[in-house]
Amino acid sequence: MEFSAENHNKDREHDEESFSYAAQIVNSYVLPMSMNAAIQLDVFEIMAKAGPDAKLSPNEIVAQLPTKNPEAPSMLDRLLRGAWNARIRIPREGPEVQPCFQHRNDEPHHFGKLVMNNILDAYKGFVQHLNQVIVDIGGGLGVSLRFITSKYPSIKGINFDLPHVIQHAPPIPGVEHVAGDMFQNVPKGDAIFMKFILHDWSDDDCLKLLKNCYKAIPDEGKIVVVDCMLPDVPNTSSGGERNEPNKN
């Protein structure tokens, strides 16, 4: 039994390490795209002109940008947090980029599978919804619900997304594909699942969406959110380079 437990722990550690590296690979496009946007908008130039000891807020930087988007300060704040976590510094001669991870030749390719396996391994709340309906908001082609209903066959799933997405969704046993706009209304169910959705939207949009979700579930219903979180203080340690899955 001790040998089996030891092997199980080693397998779990290997899976979590693989998940961490896969997350880095999948999200590796975010940094160059963010930096390209910042360079095109002269964000780094504005910061450099303010002087080495200046501390500009996102609002102060946005005031010098050619935009009237009310969400711009919040968006810029997230961009700069990402730059800091990626160890980008802004010297006078321009930004210097230090890679936040090293490429490995044995990176896993099925990131979505790793994510859902981690979720189903860590989160046991789906057991409370056997013989009930779970609605996946922004579920794409229904991959998440396919994993959930495969592990819990008595759960019925509703995969909800925009019409042009749903039209390409393949048939999945126990899952109904429904097209619509989540900011208008969402299908009714006993629980709502959202994976990597809320971080894409402003606080006002998130509030509107969550209100629609609240209307769609019963009093004892549940909203399960899986998403990225920014730390209050950027983590610049080497351990912070990898986004370990939070199982709390």
Show which residues are catalytic. Answer: 199
What does the longest C-alpha to C-alpha distance in the chain come to? 65
Question: Contact, 212 vs 186, CB < 8 A?
Answer: yes
Distance CA 35, CA 88 (A): 10
Distance CA 73, CA 187 (A): 33
Distance CA 129, CA 133 (A): 7
Question: Contact, 155 vs 132, CB < 8 A?
Answer: yes
With CA atoms as reference, report the closest residue to 141 among 126, 117, 157: 157
Burial of 200 (0-12, 13-18, 19+ CB in 10 A): exposed
Question: Contact, 156 vs 98, CB < 8 A?
Answer: no
The alpha carbon torsion through 93, 45, 230, 135 (nearest 10 deg) reads: -130
Q: Which residues pair with 158 in a beta bridge?
A: 135, 176
Q: Distances from the Cα of 92 to the Cαs of 28, 34, 134, in angstroms?
A: 26, 20, 53
With CA atoms as reference, report the closest residue to 86 among 76, 77, 95, 99: 99
